[in-house]
């Protein structure tokens, strides 16, 4: 009888121990501090919110008034023009002169740098490798890198920064010479983003809508890895050319953009992403006006679009 009582006591004690253990484990899990969350938005602030799992942006519905305003403004121009606007949260767009192609000029530097970064992602080149500027690469048409002279050394990453922030021609030649034939046609940015590559009189030409795909390729990180897309957009956001799209916008507003200047045939452009909080949009303006007139016209168009989007 005593053995039965001892066995019964053990049978009761064992479940109690299990319950106490589970209770302590539950308390530990409940009171244990949650692991710190890494904010993708903090590290990749220039990429699309939806690819980072961020809260939805504001959805604007009626862009008809803006479309009419802009159509009237561009109809007054008797020169070549191409315009594209896209409200990035929902894809609403406005197109004017969609079939008119103008000389791309320095706009082409963005897809060239994208090709460099793709080659690096594929392991065919290293962005931080040091290269020397050759005499053939020196170009005083745009940028100051040529002043360093032949033999100056820099990394390919630094060359990319020069090319996008300062639109430097010498840096562009350096990148081109080190990436030439490194990617197949199907691997290149323009081909992967399905952008027509046309020429007129030996110059690359493009329309605003097609070029928008280059910027969207970075914004949605659809060609390069997220960190590389962010890096290139950060260079574009530091562009030293501030007298077109950013000219009349709030000074602290982030604008990642690239200008194109081709005085020989009056092809002036500025294309970029304007980061109004929760209301980012893409804007690309190309006009066949003299440079000073183009600066003023593009700045006016940019302000008109900004006012409409920000005040809805």
pLDDT at 42 over 90: no
Question: What pLDDT is stored for residue 151 in this prediction?
Answer: 98
Q: Which of 5-9, 151-155, 243-247, 292-296 is least confident?
A: 5-9
Per-residue confidence (pLDDT) for residue 254, from 0 to 100: 98
pLDDT at 41: 64
Residue 40 — pLDDT band, cuts 50, 70, 90?
A: low
Average pLDDT over residues 228-255: 98
- What average pLDDT does the structure give for the chain? 88
* pLDDT confidence band for 29 (50 / 70 / 90): very low
What is the per-residue pLDDT across 154-191, written as a single tens digit (0 to 9) for each?
A: 999 999 999 999 999 999 999 999 999 999 999 999 99
Beta bridge partners of 253: none
pLDDT score of 312: 82
Residue 115 pLDDT: 98
Kindly state the percentage of the chain with pLDDT values over 90: 77
Tell me the backbone φ, ψ of residue 206, rounded to 5 degrees: -160, 160
Quick check: 2 pLDDT over 80?
A: no
Is 70's pLDDT higher than 70?
A: yes
55-61 mean pLDDT: 76
Per-residue pLDDT, averaged over 296-311, amounts to 97
pLDDT of residue 50: 78
Residue 266, pLDDT score: 86
Name the nearest CA neighbour of 286 among 307, 301, 306: 301
Residues 277-300: tens digit of each pLDDT: 999 999 999 999 999 999 999 999
pLDDT band of residue 19 (cuts 50, 70, 90) is very low
pLDDT of the residue at 21: 43
Is the pLDDT reported for residue 111 higher than 60? yes
CA angle centred on 245, ends 253 and 173, rounded to 5° = 105
Asked if residue 51 has pLDDT above 90, the reply is no
User: Within a 10 A sphere around the Cβ of 100, how many other Cβ atoms?
Assistant: 17
Could you give the residue ranges of the DSSP H alpha helices within 224-285?
226-236
For the chain, give percent helix, strand, coil, nearest 5.
Answer: 45, 15, 40
CA distance 154 to 174: 10
Compute φ and ψ for 120, nearest 5 degrees.
-65, -40
> Which of the pair, 123 or 34, is modelled with greater confidence?
123
Cα separation, 164 vs 171, in Å, equals 9
- Is the pLDDT at 17 greater than 70? The verdict is no
């Amino acid at each position: 009888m005593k053995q039965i009582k001892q066995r019964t006591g053990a049978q009761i004690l064992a479940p109690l121990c299990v319950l106490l253990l589970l209770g302590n484990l539950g308390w530990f899990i409940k009171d244990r501090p949650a692991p710190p969350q890494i904010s993708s938005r903090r590290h990749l602030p220039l990429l699309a919110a939806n690819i980072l799992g961020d809260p939805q942006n504001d959805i604007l519905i009626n862009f008809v008034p803006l479309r009419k305003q802009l159509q009237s403004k561009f109809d007054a121009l008797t020169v070549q023009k191409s315009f594209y606007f896209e409200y990035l949260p929902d894809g609403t767009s406005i197109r004017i002169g969609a079939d008119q192609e103008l000389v791309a000029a320095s706009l082409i530097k963005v897809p060239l740098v994208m090709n460099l970064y793709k080659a690096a992602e594929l392991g065919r080149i290293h962005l931080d490798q040091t290269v020397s500027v050759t005499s053939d690469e020196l170009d005083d048409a745009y940028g100051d890198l040529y002043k360093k002279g032949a033999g100056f050394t820099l990394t390919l990453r630094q060359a990319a920064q020069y090319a996008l922030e300062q639109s430097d021609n010498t840096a562009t030649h350096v990148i081109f010479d080190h990436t030439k034939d490194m990617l197949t046609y199907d691997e290149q940015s323009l081909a992967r983003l399905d952008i027509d590559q046309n020429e007129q009189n030996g110059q690359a030409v493009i329309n605003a809508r097609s070029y928008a795909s280059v910027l969207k390729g970075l914004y949605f990180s659809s060609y390069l890895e997220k960190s590389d897309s962010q890096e290139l957009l950060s260079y574009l956001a530091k562009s030293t050319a501030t007298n077109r799209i950013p000219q009349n916008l709030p000074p602290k507003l982030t604008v990642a953009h690239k200008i194109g200047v081709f005085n020989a045939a009056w092809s002036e452009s500025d294309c970029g992403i304007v980061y109004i909080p929760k209301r980012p949009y893409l804007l690309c303006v190309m006009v066949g006006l003299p440079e000073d007139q183009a600066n003023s016209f593009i700045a006016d168009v940019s302000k008109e679009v900004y006012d409409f989007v920000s005040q809805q």
